[in-house]
Amino acid sequence: MLRPHSPKWAELVESRRTAISHGLTGIARDVDQFFGDERIEEEYQDLRVALSTDISMESSEGMDGRARISGTVPLPVLKDRVALVLGSDADVETLDKGGGFTNEDRSFESGIRFLSGDGPWTYKMNLGAQWSDGPVIYVRPGVRYEGHYHNDDYRVGQYLLWNNQDGFGEQTDFEYDRCLHPNLYLRSKSSALISEVSDGLEFSQAFILRYRSSNFWATSLEYGFKIESDPALAHERSSLAFRFRSIFLFPWLEQEIQPFVRFENSKDFRPSPGIVFKVKILFEHPLHGRGLTVR
């Protein structure tokens, strides 16, 4: 029989904590990938082609849409740590007064992404160019540390930003995940950005509650706000959104419905409700079983 203060008891407790923490890491990464979070998308190195369409309707802004095609091609150098990234966006907009859609912006992007990991540390470098009205060359080196505290996970990221149009910038991210249930977790996500074109220090905070119910759908309740320090410390905007994302008809076809309400300082924080519809076609190689793994 193990005694509470014996070395084997301490070893058992630590192994259980590690297993729970790894379970939370798997759940969070699985669901984050399903929702297409930027952190996961930026570190995807396998062969993939994605086509997505977003349509947004908001009471104060009318309706607009966006179509994007992107691809990732791993390069056979440095042990598959380098990938070629390609993408093209087309934004369309119509005013709520009516009328047809009008092209607002088209852009194309190509770049190289380097990613390397050493235990809890992840090092990455993005460099490339975007073309819209003119070429914008960018460089984005960064490092992230992932750790565990009791049954919780946390991530700290530090990034430098530069492009030939806006100059230099620096961004610090912090995420903290707490497991509330085997398929439910709560995240606090903070980000601080300062650059040559930012309004002083721009700080954003979000609280995200995510739940996966089956292999084919998950939900996310998200609240966030943004504060700027220039010309004076001010609350710029906040928003509340509910996201329902699912795989339907085919394993490579995803849909998302996202009702939301937004409050902006420039509009005296009057509520501005809206809804976003998303459809995504995703082909990956090797073709993993799409969907969520329920543990």
Q: Which two tokens stand for residue 20?
A: 């729970």
Percent of the chain past pLDDT 70, that is, above it, reads 81
pLDDT in tens, 191-239: 999 999 888 899 999 999 999 887 789 999 999 999 998 777 888 999 9
Q: Which two tokens stand for residue 285?
A: 């190689």
2 occurs within a structural domain:
no
Strands (E), the chain: 47-58, 62-75, 82-94, 102-118, 121-131, 135-149, 152-163, 167-181, 184-195, 202-212, 217-228, 234-247, 253-264, 272-285
105 occurs within a structural domain:
yes
Over the chain, what is the mean pLDDT? 82
Name the residue with tokens 């379970």. 23
Q: Classify burial at 48, counting beta carbons within 10 Å of its beta carbon; exposed 0-12, middle 13-18, buried 19 or more.
A: middle
**Per-residue model confidence (pLDDT) at position 144:** 95
213 occurs within a structural domain:
yes
Count the domains in the chain: 1
Per-residue HEC secondary structure of 139-161 comes to EEEEEEEEEEECCEEEEEEEEEE
**Per-residue model confidence (pLDDT) at position 30:** 77
Question: Over the range 83-99, which residues count as b (16 or more CB within 10 Å of their CB) and which as e?
Answer: bebebebbebbeeeeee
Q: 280 forms bridges with which residues in the sheet?
A: 52, 254
**Dihedral angle, C-alpha 148, 6, 180, 214, nearest 10 °:** 90
| DSSP class of 266 | G
The HSE-up count of residue 274 (CA atoms within 13 Å, CB side) is 19
Q: Which two tokens stand for residue 177?
A: 């995940």
Domain holding 51, by residue range, is 7-285
136 occurs within a structural domain:
yes
**Per-residue model confidence (pLDDT) at position 163:** 92
Q: What is the CATH number of the domain that holds 204?
A: 2.40.160.40
**Per-residue model confidence (pLDDT) at position 213:** 80
Q: Which distant-in-sequence residues (6+ apart) come within 8 Å of 16 by Cβ?
A: none
Query: How wide is the angle at C-alpha 82 spanned by C-alphas 126 and 52, nearest 5°?
Result: 65
| DSSP class of 96 | T
Q: 264 forms bridges with which residues in the sheet?
A: 237
77 occurs within a structural domain:
yes
225 occurs within a structural domain:
yes
Q: Which of 61-65, 86-90, 220-224 is modeled with the greatest confidence?
A: 220-224
Per-residue pLDDT at 46 exceeds 50: yes
107 occurs within a structural domain:
yes
**Per-residue model confidence (pLDDT) at position 292:** 45
Query: How wide is the angle at C-alpha 175 spanned by C-alphas 174 and 179, nearest 5°?
Result: 160
1 occurs within a structural domain:
no
pLDDT in tens, 153-177: 999 999 999 999 889 999 999 999 9
Q: Which of 30, 48, 52 is nearest to 40 (CA)?
A: 30
With H, G, I as helix, E, B as strand and everything else as coil, classify residue 97.
coil
